[in-house]
Amino acid sequence: MMTHADEGWPGRSWYEAKSNDRWSGSGRLAGDHAHDVVIVGGGLAGISTAVGLVERGIKSICMLENELPGAGASGRNGGFVFAGYSLANDALIKQVGSAEATALHGWTRDAVGLVRNRIDRFGLACDVNDAGVVLADWFGDDERLARFADRMRQQLAFGLEFLSREQLARHVNSPRYGAGLFEPASFHFNPLAHILGLADWLREKGVAVHERSPVRRVERCGDGWVVHVDGGRVRAAEVVLTTGGYDRTLRPAVQRALQPIATYIAVTEPLGSRLSDLLPRPVAVYDTRFAFDYFRPLPDTRLLWGGRISIADRRPAAIRKLLAGDLQRVFPELSGVAFAQAWGGWMSYARHEMPLLGRCRDGLWYGLAFGGHGMATTTLAGEVLAEAILGQTDRISRFQRWQPRWAGGLIGRGVAQSRYWWLQTLDRCRDWRGCP
Residues that bind ligand FAD (CB under 6 A): 40-46, 64-67, 71-74, 76-80, 214-215, 242-247, 250, 263, 265, 306, 344-345, 347, 370-375, 378
Strand order in the sheet with 294-297: 161-163, 180-183, 133-136, 284-287, 294-297, 303-310, 259-268, 339-349
Comparison of 141 and 404: residue with beta carbon closer to ligand FAD: 404
Q: What are φ and ψ of residue 263, in 5° steps?
A: -140, 160
Find, among 337, 394, 402, 332, the residue nearest to 367 by Cα. Answer: 402
Q: Are 253 and 53 in contact (CB under 8 A)?
A: no
Between CA 238 and CA 217 the distance in angstroms is 15
Query: At residue 370, what are phi and psi to the nearest 5 degrees?
Result: -95, -5
78 vs 180, beta carbon nearer ligand FAD: 78
CB 335 → ligand FAD: shortest distance, Å? 24
Instruction: State the alpha helices, DSSP H only, in 252-374.
Output: 252-255, 274-278, 316-330
CA atoms within 13 A on the CB side of 43: 29
Query: How many Å apart are CA 341 and CA 4, to the nearest integer?
Result: 8
Closest distance to ligand FAD from the beta carbon of 238 (Å): 16
Q: How far is the CB of 375 from ligand FAD (least distance, A)?
A: 4
- Identity of the residue, 141 or 320, whose beta carbon is nearer to ligand FAD in the bound complex: 320
First-to-last C-alpha distance (Å) of the chain = 51
Cβ closer to ligand FAD: 141 or 370? Answer: 370
Alpha carbon distance 327, 1 (integer Å):
29
As measured in angstroms, the least distance from the Cβ of 259 to ligand FAD is 13
For the bound state, the minimum distance from the C-beta of residue 164 to ligand FAD, rounded and expressed in Å, comes to 26
Q: Tell me how far, at minimum, the Cβ of 247 lies from ligand FAD, in Å.
A: 3
Closer of 44 and 236 to ligand FAD (Cβ): 44
How many Å apart are CA 201 and CA 109, to the nearest integer?
Answer: 24
Closer to ligand FAD by Cβ: residue 331 or 346: 346
Nearer to ligand FAD, 155 or 255 (CB): 255
CB 216, min distance to ligand FAD, A: 7
Phi and psi of 217, rounded to 5°? -155, 145
